[in-house]
């Protein structure tokens, strides 16, 4: 009987300990849950808790946006048309405007707004095109430097629902793009829109204001509506206006990426912090993993993803980064007689970006009437065809221990890093690896000849040799195997008798 009581006591004690453990674990989980559910405060310290690179973004590899707005109406020179038309310095845009439309005092930039009609705009067609091109995220330049908003805005009277197209362009695009299974990006360039030199006549044309302030022109208008387009409002008021427009887009369209052009540093730190806290807290409510992209040093590295315009890094980066590049050779927006990069050039430069832990944001340029020109559509479809064929080697991959090899010279880009228009050849190769570590992918950035020997010293130095080695190497898109061996100093792959890809041939290496 005594023994039975002891057993009961032991059992009760064990149950008690188990319950206590459960309660303790539960408490720990609750504490952890509470910690992760805490709201972001508008301080860099609090905002640094944000994971700047979600897994889906690192997997995506490519997105598409488009520079499209009122500046697409004159379709001359570039999207900087409104900057140059008022400068009175003999710039080609000023000369062109006076010859075609008259004195800017009589025909202002806002007189182009009714001509921005977008009558052929088809959001679903655009979204399908972007998906067909291989993009995993897409969206509009929601507002450029010129102050015209491409969404249904109550804050900005110059918006696409009330004026011009009379459509909520961002809203329609958001629905269409998300319906195709893509993430949604909105880009913002409006930090530069403020008139920062109104009280300084010697610097009315200062570079940090998009519109030249001049009492002769509407850029100096004090009419409450016109002044908002040209940014002629007190700077404190403008900074709040900048923030309120971002809030509208976040509230109405829930973008997965908010991307900023240069000049974000002109917005006071307080407002940048308030934006980030608002966006991240709203995303948390919606269970969104979002990205904030920035240029130069405009945001802390642990908050956002760095974007390098029209270029890329020269070596592998520990952190994921972004580059925005054009399909066109000149303007970001549509202009008459525009010329374009071939798909081969675009894809090969994208591969180089991916090999260095980068993501590519391609820019296309629709016409004011809402038509994406056939030349651009052809390039995008050619890119997409290559992407589909090699999707396994592109999406959900990560950089290898070294990015690659070759003879191509990495010329400098205009905004840091290297150019986005490097001419690669069959002598240049780049690597990516599968996330599970089972495969290595070798991209040849040109068309190798059958029987060529591809020598890669870096692989001979790697721990693949001699113990591990490879199981087999095949050309993606076929079952053709390639012969290979480790020499004393090099790894040597012999190009097999098989059709090579005109853009970039990919060798799939199965690892032991």
Q: Give the pLDDT score at 417.
A: 83
Q: Mean pLDDT across the stretch 64-89?
A: 97
Q: Mean pLDDT across the stretch 141-155?
A: 98
Q: What is the CATH number of the domain that holds 380?
A: 3.20.20.80
- Residue % of the chain over a pLDDT of 90: 86
Residue 27 in this model has a pLDDT that exceeds 50: no
Dihedral sign from CA coordinates of 90, 80, 310, 426 = negative
CA–CA distance, 498 with 181 (Å, rounded to integer): 35
**Is 419 part of a structural domain of the chain?**
yes
Q: Does 67 share its domain with 57?
A: yes
**Is 42 part of a structural domain of the chain?**
no
Q: Give the pLDDT score at 22.
A: 43
Mark 416-430 as b/e (b = at least 16 C-beta within 10 Å).
bbbbbbbebebebbb
Q: Give the pLDDT score at 413.
A: 82
Q: Give the pLDDT score at 472.
A: 94
Q: Mean pLDDT across the stretch 300-323?
A: 96
CB 166 within 8 A of CB 215: no
Q: Does 262 share its domain with 407?
A: no
Residue 172 in this model has a pLDDT that exceeds 90: yes
The torsion angle over the Cα atoms of residues 64, 312, 261 and 347, rounded to 10 degrees, is -20
**Is 12 part of a structural domain of the chain?**
no
Q: Does 406 share its domain with 463?
A: yes
Q: Does 431 share its domain with 320?
A: no
Other Cβ atoms less than 10 A from the Cβ of 275: the count is 23
CA distances (Å), origin 359, targets 137, 305, 340? 11, 10, 21
Express each pLDDT in 463-485 by its tens digit. Answer: 765 556 799 999 998 889 999 99
Other Cβ atoms less than 10 A from the Cβ of 456: the count is 19
CA–CA distance, 43 with 300 (Å, rounded to integer): 11
**Residue carrying structure tokens 């050779």:** 329
**Residue carrying structure tokens 């979204």:** 127
Q: Give the pLDDT score at 60.
A: 98
**Is 99 part of a structural domain of the chain?**
yes
Q: Give the pLDDT score at 468.
A: 66
Q: Does 443 share its domain with 503?
A: yes
> What tokens were used for 349?
């430069």
Q: Does 388 share its domain with 308?
A: yes
Q: Three-state DSSP class for 28?
A: helix
Express each pLDDT in 101-124 by its tens digit. Answer: 999 999 999 999 999 999 999 999
The residue out of 396, 426, 457 marking a domain boundary is 396
Residue 461 in this model has a pLDDT that exceeds 90: no
CB 277 within 8 A of CB 283: no
Q: Does 223 share its domain with 78?
A: yes
**Is 214 part of a structural domain of the chain?**
yes
Mean pLDDT of the chain: 92
Q: Mean pLDDT across the stretch 350-355?
A: 98
Q: Give the pLDDT score at 28.
A: 39
- The phi and psi torsions of 9 (rounded to 5 degrees) equal -65, -45
Question: What confidence category does residue 23 fall into, taking pLDDT thresholds of 50, 70 and 90?
Answer: very low
**Is 2 part of a structural domain of the chain?**
no
Q: What is the 3-state secondary structure (H, E, C) of 56-105?
A: HHHHHCEEEEECCCHHHCCCCCCCCHHHHHCCCCCCHHHHHHHHHCCCCC
> How many separate domains does the chain show?
2
Q: Does 155 share its domain with 198?
A: yes
Express each pLDDT in 368-383 by its tens digit. Answer: 999 999 999 999 999 9
Q: Does 502 share its domain with 371?
A: no
**Residue carrying structure tokens 């044309």:** 205
> What tokens were used for 346?
């675009």
Q: Does 392 share its domain with 403?
A: no
- The phi and psi torsions of 505 (rounded to 5 degrees) equal -85, 135
Nearest-Å Rg of the Cα atoms of the chain is 27
Q: What is the CATH number of the domain that holds 476?
A: 2.60.40.1180
Query: By residue range, what is the domain housing residue 412?
Result: 398-511
The residue out of 396, 426, 456 marking a domain boundary is 396
Q: Mean pLDDT across the stretch 95-105?
A: 98
Q: Does 428 share its domain with 307?
A: no
Q: Give the pLDDT score at 25.
A: 43
The residue out of 349, 371, 396 marking a domain boundary is 396
288 closest CA partner among 132, 137, 63: 137
Express each pLDDT in 64-74 by its tens digit. Answer: 999 999 999 99
Residue 344 in this model has a pLDDT that exceeds 90: yes
**Is 21 part of a structural domain of the chain?**
no
Question: What confidence category does residue 37 fall into, taking pLDDT thresholds of 50, 70 and 90?
Answer: low
Q: Give the pLDDT score at 465.
A: 58
Q: Does 333 share its domain with 434?
A: no
Question: What confidence category does residue 409 fall into, taking pLDDT thresholds of 50, 70 and 90?
Answer: confident
**Residue carrying structure tokens 């059958």:** 450
211 exposed, middle or buried (CB, 10 Å; 0-12, 13-18, 19+)? buried
**Is 469 part of a structural domain of the chain?**
yes
Q: Which residues are paired to 509 by β-bridges?
A: 440, 473
Express each pLDDT in 256-309 by its tens digit. Answer: 999 999 999 999 999 999 999 999 999 999 999 999 999 999 999 999 999 999
72 closest CA partner among 34, 122, 112, 131: 112
């Amino acid at each position: 009987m005594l023994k039975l009581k002891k057993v009961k006591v032991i059992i009760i004690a064990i149950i008690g300990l188990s319950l206590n453990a459960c309660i303790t674990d539960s408490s720990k989980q609750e504490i952890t849950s509470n910690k992760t559910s805490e709201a972001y405060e508008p301080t860099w310290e609090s905002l640094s808790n944000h994971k700047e690179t979600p897994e889906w973004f690192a997997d995506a590899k490519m997105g598409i946006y488009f520079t499209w707005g009122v500046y697409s109406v004159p379709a001359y020179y570039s999207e900087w048309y409104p900057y140059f038309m008022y400068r009175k310095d003999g710039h080609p845009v000023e000369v062109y405007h006076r010859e075609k439309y008259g004195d800017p005092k009589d025909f202002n930039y806002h007189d182009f707004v009714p001509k921005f009609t977008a009558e052929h705009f088809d959001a679903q067609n655009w979204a399908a095109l972007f998906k067909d091109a291989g993009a995993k995220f897409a969206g509009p330049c929601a507002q450029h430097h010129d102050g015209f908003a491409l969404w249904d805005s109550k804050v900005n009277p110059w918006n696409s629902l009330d004026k011009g197209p009379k459509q909520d362009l961002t809203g329609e695009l958001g629905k269409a793009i998300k319906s195709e299974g893509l993430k949604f990006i909105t880009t913002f360039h409006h930090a530069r829109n403020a008139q920062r030199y109104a009280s300084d006549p010697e610097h009315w044309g200062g570079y940090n204001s998009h519109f030249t302030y001049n009492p002769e022109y509407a850029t100096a208008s004090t009419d409450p509506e016109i002044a908002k387009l040209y940014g002629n409002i007190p700077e404190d008021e403008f900074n709040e206006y900048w923030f309120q427009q971002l809030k509208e887009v976040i509230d109405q369209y829930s973008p997965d990426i908010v991307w900023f052009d240069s000049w974000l540093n002109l917005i006071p730190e307080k407002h940048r912090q308030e934006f980030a806290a608002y966006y991240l807290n709203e995303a948390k409510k919606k269970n969104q993993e979002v990205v904030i992209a920035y240029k130069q040093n405009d945001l802390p590295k642990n908050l956002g993803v760095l974007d390098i315009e029209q270029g890329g890094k020269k070596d592998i980066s520990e952190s994921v980064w972004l580059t925005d590049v054009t399909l066109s050779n000149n303007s970001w927006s549509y202009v008459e007689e525009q010329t374009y990069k071939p798909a081969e050039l675009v894809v090969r430069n994208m591969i180089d970006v991916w090999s260095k832990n980068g993501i590519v944001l391609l820019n296309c340029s629709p016409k004011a009437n809402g038509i994406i020109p056939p030349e651009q559509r052809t390039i995008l479809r050619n890119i997409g065809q290559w992407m589909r064929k090699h999707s396994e080697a592109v999406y959900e991959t990560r950089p290898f221990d070294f990015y690659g090899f070759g003879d191509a010279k990495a010329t400098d880009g205009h905004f840091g890093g290297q150019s986005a228009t490097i001419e690669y050849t069959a002598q240049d190769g780049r690597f990516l690896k599968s996330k599970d570590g089972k495969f290595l992918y070798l991209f040849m950035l040109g068309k190798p000849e059958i029987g060529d020997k591809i020598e890669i010293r870096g692989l001979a130095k790697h721990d693949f040799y001699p113990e591990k080695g490879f199981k087999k190497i095949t050309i993606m898109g076929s079952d053709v195997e390639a012969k290979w061996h480790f020499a004393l100093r090099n790894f040597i792959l012999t190009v097999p008798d098989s059709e090579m890809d005109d853009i970039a041939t990919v060798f799939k290496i199965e690892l032991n």
